[in-house]
Amino acid sequence: MGITGRAVRRGFLAAFLVTAPAFPVDDPDSGSSTGAVAGVILDGQSGRPIQQAVVSVVGQDDRRVLTDLEGQYRMPLPTGTYQLRIEAQSYLPMVLEGVVVRAREVSRVSSVLSSSANSTTVDVVAKVNADAATAESVLVERKLSEVVSDAVSGPELRAGTASDAAGALAEVPGISVVGNQFVYVRGLGERYSATTLNNALLATTEPEKRVVPLDLFPVQLIDQIRVLKTYSPDLPGEFSGALVQIETVQFPARRTLEIKQKAGFNTRTTGKRWLSSPGGGRDWTGFDDGARSLPSIIPSEKRVLRGNYTTAEMQAFGRAFAPNWDLVQVESARPNQSYSIVAGNTFGKLGVVGALTYANALQTANEVRNFYTPPTLRSPRPVLYAGYNYDSYVNGIRLGGVLNAAYQLTPANRISLKNFLSRDTDDETRFFEGYSEDYGNTIRNTRARWVERQIFSSQLEGKHMIAALGNSTLGWQMSFSGANRDEPDLRESLYRKYDEVSPVFYLTTDAQSAFRMFNYLDDQIYQPHLYVKIPFFRGSVGGLVKTGVSYTHRNRDFSSRRFRFNPVNISGIDTGRSAGEILVPENIRPNGYELREDTRSTDTYKARHEVQAAYGMLDLSFGSKWRVIAGVRVERSRQRVDTFDNFVPELAQVNARLEDTDPLPALNVIYALTPRQNLRFGYSRTVSRPDFRELSPFDFTDLTGGRSVIGNANLGRARIENFDGRWEWFPGADQLLAFSFFYKKFKDPIEQTVQATSNLRTSFANAQQANNYGGEVEFRRNLGFLGPRLRQFSLASNFTFVDSEVALAPAQFLTATSAVRPLAGQSRYIFNMAAEWNRPRWRSNSRLMANSVSRRISDVGTFGLPDIYEERNVYLDFVYTFSPREDGKYQIKFSADNLLDNTVRFTQGGEIFRGFQPGRTYSVGTSIAVF
């Protein structure tokens, strides 16, 4: 009998074969003539894994295996060429031809199956050449995804120049990276994004944000990053821009050991003068050895003030601090370096994979920073108020590790444990000098800052297939995430000239001078999750019922202690010397400098956030054309922030409470115009809740002359309606053309404000409303269609247009210069391009990447001062990879970042507010696959 036209069209899906690791089962025989095939079998319309599918060798009835809970299989085979037959209940069978098995290797052979209900003829099979098994898995997942999504695979991550997840995501449509840490998706700031690791929410190391800084995730530890741009009920309801899903390295299909090393230099840092600060003997590891710890003699029960302690005790307290104020100059900054190792194996039913990474990078920024007063009738441009030459030196040390294990109890039951640890330490030294109108002359400032950030995540999860319920799946996960940020002994000194003719600077009595601060943050999340998935087939209608419950419990503790050496009677002390020479023990005395604690009554807060959630959703397929995913999630949120005096907790408390219950519906409709084309529509409601920091009145000033930041205990949540659409066309396995549009309507969005205090202060308030809309175009294709000589070339590019408008409530935003403006951080245009030349004969690959982000508001203008904009830039990067051997086990990689040596510029009313050049970075790395 002949195959029907519909079956032919559905058979095209088999060309989209997925490269995916199989769950570990018994290793193939160690003999030299044995290998294996492994892969995953998916539903061709929904992308769901097909459980208990039979994969067999045609003509050899004794060689067959069943797919597991994830649709994965693995079958040992002698070397040779085979035909594989794939069969599953309610699906058309399929044969894959030309499957080549090589000695001691695992061939990846995966496929998708079409529902038998969508064809009137079921006694035929589609036949596809197995060479298609190398097709891009990311595009398959994207085509079959239930929501609008983008993704970056592990090989793509490591093919670029980025060292962490933040840099890698800059190539995804609609995404720009701010501060090298946070992603802005479709013009929305980091507050409108969320991050999960292995499907679990993450604690954060940032005291001022809930979102996790993505520079904490080295690419060597990542298997894939997905960016979900629309919401479905089984996802957390607190995002609007995107949910970034990070998956760590997966279980290998065979024994694996890979070692990588990289060294590089920056044209404006390496070999140049370098400033650092005194530290400890273990600084190179990113761990302070106690050299920066608060001296043990300092009491914890009372403030260090006169009246609380005797004169002798005050003197002893002050002398307990080391006089480590002065910066240390190094003549030549060392090169950057990084190392990583990934290893994994299977031991019967147990699979184990682990990875370690270490990196050390130095970066100098020689900046110009200016501050202005509002324009006047005589001067239509902002008037210079203070101008500084600002130099910063950051020594970044990163350590990371992954250890995952999984055990297959039975073919229908699996338990896995996944662990992730990342530490990122910044040893930052800054020095700036310039004229300040506040002091009427030139000032000089030095600061030494050591920040240790650590994040740990662990998940124990199980999946169990229930055959009696039509191969339903019961899944559960218990996850814990802990993050802490330790910032010990921030040291700052401020000097000023009293006579512009004299070259001498004198230590001031300003509140930010002779200043030391100790900050510590601990953030923890506990999250149990239970769900059930029940598949069903009713004629031409098939689908899935999914329901689940989850509970998120988040605790945060933050504390800060501030100290200053207060001049009491310093007439005999030469304050024109360095702070390390002035603040020596002999000058810490009742008639010299005396330690005084300036810790404020708002410098400690404890916070708790509980979210109870339940959801139900239907994923329905009508024939071969229509797919509808609909459902609702109900979240009950209880948020509490208590800010108090750490020494007198019962007095002067500021308490913030926020309780809401929100039904969050979602509807996603997918129409398959052809087997190669999808038309998607989505609607959803989501929320954005205040961060703990935004609810707490903790006050901190980062820069002399700059604004301090304080929270607002009266903030409420923002509610967002999201509309999305996308047309996507997949001409081939690794090719794509897509057009997307989006519209978002915000009610009560949280925006920054400036309070009209004696020293301007930044805070937060709910605006009235905001709108955000735009479109995306994405193109990825091999250029062989233009001619056979171009088959080795491919091009990927995307362009995003975004516009937005915020309407501010007059009573809350009296100080704002603009009553209507775009969202802060929103760029109107974002462009990415990657041109690739793959030359198999030379065993080489070249990749040229360009990224451009148009100007965006970085700070909102107030009191007549214009908004501050980060100006447009174009970044050009290049990567060349060469394999000396045919088997690719050895690779050499050369990369060049920022080839155009761009200048980063921030402007205010056409005047330079801030500007610097990060320089070009060149790196050479090697990798060795031992086995």
- Residue 440 scores a pLDDT above 50: yes
Cβ(615)–Cβ(634) under 8 Å?
yes
- Residue 843 scores a pLDDT above 60: yes
C-alpha distances in angstroms, 320 versus 253, 291, 339? 57, 12, 39
DSSP 649-688: TTSS-EEEEEEEEEEEEEEEEEEEEETTEEEEEEEEEEEE
Higher pLDDT, 9 or 823: 823
Task: Give me the mean pLDDT over the 349-363 stretch.
Answer: 91
Q: How far apart are CA 309 and CA 794, in angstroms?
A: 73
Q: How far apart are CA 90 and CA 115, in angstroms?
A: 6
State residue 685's pLDDT score: 94
State residue 527's pLDDT score: 95
C-alpha dihedral sign at 496, 861, 712, 719: negative
Average pLDDT, rounded, for the chain: 83
Cβ(745)–Cβ(757) under 8 Å?
no
> Tens digit of pLDDT for each residue in 879-903?
999 989 877 788 899 999 999 999 9
Lowest mean pLDDT among 179-183, 396-400, 568-572, 672-676: 179-183
Q: How far apart are CA 115 and CA 575, in angstroms?
A: 83
**Angle at the Cα of 463 from the Cα atoms of 459 and 464, rounded to 5 degrees:** 155
Backbone angles phi, psi at 376, to 5 degrees: -125, 175
Higher pLDDT, 693 or 646: 646
Q: What is the pTM of this model?
A: 0.83
State residue 683's pLDDT score: 95
Task: Give me the mean pLDDT over the 428-451 stretch.
Answer: 90
> Tens digit of pLDDT for each residue in 597-621?
999 888 888 989 999 999 999 999 8
Q: pLDDT > 70: what percent of the chain?
A: 89
Confidence of residue 179 (pLDDT cuts 50, 70, 90): low
Task: Give me the mean pLDDT over the 773-796 stretch.
Answer: 88
Nearest to 866 by CA among 855, 877, 874: 855
State residue 752's pLDDT score: 72
Cβ(94)–Cβ(115) under 8 Å?
no
Confidence of residue 176 (pLDDT cuts 50, 70, 90): confident
State residue 126's pLDDT score: 41
C-alpha dihedral sign at 878, 884, 886, 891: negative
3-class state of residue 32 by DSSP: coil
C-alpha distances in angstroms, 901 versus 363, 876, 919? 14, 9, 5
List the beta bridge partners of residue 675. Answer: none
Higher pLDDT, 300 or 761: 300
Tokens, residue 427? 């040893």
Confidence of residue 676 (pLDDT cuts 50, 70, 90): confident
DSSP 706-722: S-EE---TT---EEEEE
Q: CB 352: neighbour CB atoms within 10 A? A: 18
State residue 31's pLDDT score: 46
> Tens digit of pLDDT for each residue in 59-68?
887 888 888 8
Backbone angles phi, psi at 715, to 5 degrees: -65, 150
- Residue 125 scores a pLDDT above 50: no
Cβ(467)–Cβ(515) under 8 Å?
no
Block residue for tokens 């300092």: 298
Task: Give me the mean pLDDT over the 848-860 stretch.
Answer: 86
State residue 708's pLDDT score: 65
Sorted by sequence, the CB contacts under 8 Å of residue 612 that are 6+ apart come out as 551, 635, 636
> Tens digit of pLDDT for each residue in 746-759?
988 887 766 555 45
- Residue 846 scores a pLDDT above 60: yes
Q: How far apart are CA 247 and CA 527, in angstroms?
A: 17
Q: CB 409: neighbour CB atoms within 10 A? A: 11
State residue 29's pLDDT score: 40
Lowest mean pLDDT among 79-88, 136-145, 481-490, 543-552: 136-145
State residue 652's pLDDT score: 67
Higher pLDDT, 701 or 558: 558
Higher pLDDT, 673 or 114: 673
Q: CB 137: neighbour CB atoms within 10 A? A: 21
Sorted by sequence, the CB contacts under 8 Å of residue 586 that are 6+ apart come out as none
Task: Give me the mean pLDDT over the 280-306 stretch.
Answer: 92
State residue 23's pLDDT score: 38
State residue 326's pLDDT score: 92
Task: Give me the mean pLDDT over the 841-845 stretch.
Answer: 88
C-alpha distances in angstroms, 548 versus 244, 466, 477? 21, 16, 11
> Tens digit of pLDDT for each residue in 441-470?
899 999 999 999 999 999 999 999 888 887
Backbone angles phi, psi at 244, to 5 degrees: -90, 115
Confidence of residue 740 (pLDDT cuts 50, 70, 90): very high
Confidence of residue 138 (pLDDT cuts 50, 70, 90): low
Higher pLDDT, 758 or 430: 430
Confidence of residue 338 (pLDDT cuts 50, 70, 90): very high
Q: How far apart are CA 319 and CA 321, in angstroms?
A: 5
Q: How far apart are CA 475 and CA 454, in angstroms?
A: 29
Lowest mean pLDDT among 75-79, 181-185, 816-820: 816-820
Nearest to 777 by CA among 798, 748, 751, 791: 798
Q: How far apart are CA 819 and CA 825, in angstroms?
A: 17
- The number of angstroms, rounded, from the C-alpha of 224 to the middle of its chain's C-alpha atoms is 12
Cβ(774)–Cβ(822) under 8 Å?
no
State residue 774's pLDDT score: 92
C-alpha distances in angstroms, 833 versus 176, 560, 790? 14, 45, 18
The 3-state DSSP composition of the chain as helix, strand, coil percent (nearest 5) reads 10, 55, 35
Backbone angles phi, psi at 295, to 5 degrees: -50, 140
